[in-house]
Structure 1
Amino acid sequence: MLNDWRTQAEAFHEAFGQMEVAEELNLDGVWLAERHFAAPNRGVGIPSVISAPLIVASAIAARTRRLRVGIAVHVLPLGNPIRMAEEVATIDHISQGRFDFGIGRSGFPRVYEGYNIPYSESRERFQECLEVMLKAWTTEQFSYEGKYYSFHDVCVLPKPYQHPYPPVRIAATTAETFPQVGHMGYPIFVGLRGMTQSDLGYHLKVYREAWQEAGHAGTGDVILRIPIYVAETAAQALRDPEASTMRAYQRLGEQFGRSAGRLGTVASEERVERAQRLSRVTYDDLLAERVAFGTPETVAARLQELREALGLTGVITEVNCGGVIPQDRVLNSLRLFAERVVPQLK
């Protein structure tokens, strides 16, 4: 991530350093978020230089041999589905089948405004993009006629390394998304930033009910993204990430507040309420429910509790929530997580 004192070059260097340590520690994989216009002082949301995650994923795939590389998430409506299908398939070959494709449409209209795409079109564009990409990966030659995208007799190469295509996972952040994705039969990403654990539990119940009603095998697949910080002592584990984490939630609240009432958004009252909740959140509130900070033992216990309560398939650890924790402490936390937390969860 980017912040007020870290240069853009340093942000990339530190990110690649974290990937190399993750590979060394035998963690399962790394996930990249797509963020646009996210400058430290005047940008949208949490500062970041990862505006082109597929390019970064390609670089990570070339630098590693075992680590899976995923996007969490790629904002489909901002791109051309044929181009995205080609690039995803190419990364899948570069990684030799270690790529995971997380997708979503983003909840923040300002990003769409920067690309001159009406946010009101995001849901339909998302669906059309997904349909085109699946055809591109599984059909030798095809045509498509949609509201926003039309293609005639195209043959997309390469086809993915994984058959029929890399695992696809969809972000679920709003009440209406959970049953829709459950009915479609896709695994999901979830988080606790915008909702309580009890609210998330309810939405997951709806997701699983829709999954089963549609006749899909099993009960769904859920990965939770959550800030995690591990230190040798409880005091240090709570002290080190405090300023960075509070900064992240403050910016998130501001972002929700600015998005309420923008053209193309729905449920503006819900956005205003969420922004107000985030603006009032205290560090104690976050520690109680929305993060996993502590010693290896307490973090393992917290993650085990979440796994049982929410029926999780896995977790994505946000290692530097807010982007202000120094790199040496981030890497120490990552090592403690891999060496002393993960074994307790197996």
Structure 2
Amino acid sequence: MSETTELSVIEIKPEQAPALYIPNGLESYFEHIKASVSEAPDLSTKKGRDRVASLAAQVSRSKTAVEKPGREYLKRLKEAVRPAEQEIKRFVDACDALRDETRRPLTEWEAEQERIAAEKAAEEERLRIEAEQAAAAEALKKQIEDGHELALLMNIQFDRDAADAQAEAERQRIAHEEEIKRQAAEQARIDAEENIKREREESAQREAALKLKAEQEEQAKIEVQQAAEREKKEAAEKVERDKKEAQERAEREKQEAIAEEQRKQQEAEQHRVAEEKRLKDEADKRAADVAHRKTIGTAVVNALTEHAGLTREQAIETLKALMDNKIPHTSIQY
């Protein structure tokens, strides 16, 4: 089984972040990682199982290499947004205060207009009462002219009644004016209370908005802290996993080295035993050949001394000549 090469080290620089950490911006990295681990190791062998574990570890390392700069980029974005949020809050508060201050003259003017309208209504009511009194006086004058004698007789009573009527009319006018003033004051009080209530509600809304904003900021801070804690935990877990993997890999390599050394020793021992056997066989073969040649040589020497009338020394010299192929057309068959 052929194995693909190890994943190349992924490095994302800060200036690349804006173009990468967008929807589907990391797809090419994922496809690269996916293609780099698209193997099918043989799980029936230890080597294949180790390869699967190594490929999975490669994916984890590549994931961290892409995720870590992304987290740092996200942190920078949140820090960049915080001044904008603070400036928006300052601007909104300043605009609210400016709005209230800008409308204050209008609010005061509206209250003054309500007061003037109330006084005008009171004056109109007073003029109406005076007109009614004048009409009553004119009618009374006509009656006096028509019945002068009767008027003279009833003059005292009439004067008394007229004075009472005028006093009653004056009392009613004063009471009406007081009622109009009271109503105007009551309306001004109601308007002032409504303005105060509206301002309180607006203030409560601003406070609620500020509270909500503070809670959101606190939540964002908590989320950032939680993310940092998760990253710290994941980093610690990764260090622990890498340490464990390194220990396991070192142990595997150690056992493999021991097995390899044992195999080499076994092969060396087998080679030594085979070499010893080969040397012994060759030595035995040479010894047997020497003994065979010696037997044949002895037979030849004995035959030469017995049948050719040669001395032993001559027979031995003749044997040497035969062995060295110095005598043509003759040879010794061993």
> TM-score range with shorter-chain normalisation?
under 0.3
Give the TM-score of the pair, scaled to structure 1: 0.16
TM-score between the two structures when normalised by the length of structure 2: 0.16
In terms of fraction of residues, the more strand-rich structure is 1
Greater per-residue helix proportion: 2
The one of the two structures with greater contact order (alpha-carbon pairs below 8 A, sep at least 6) is 1
| Structure number with larger C-alpha Rg | 2
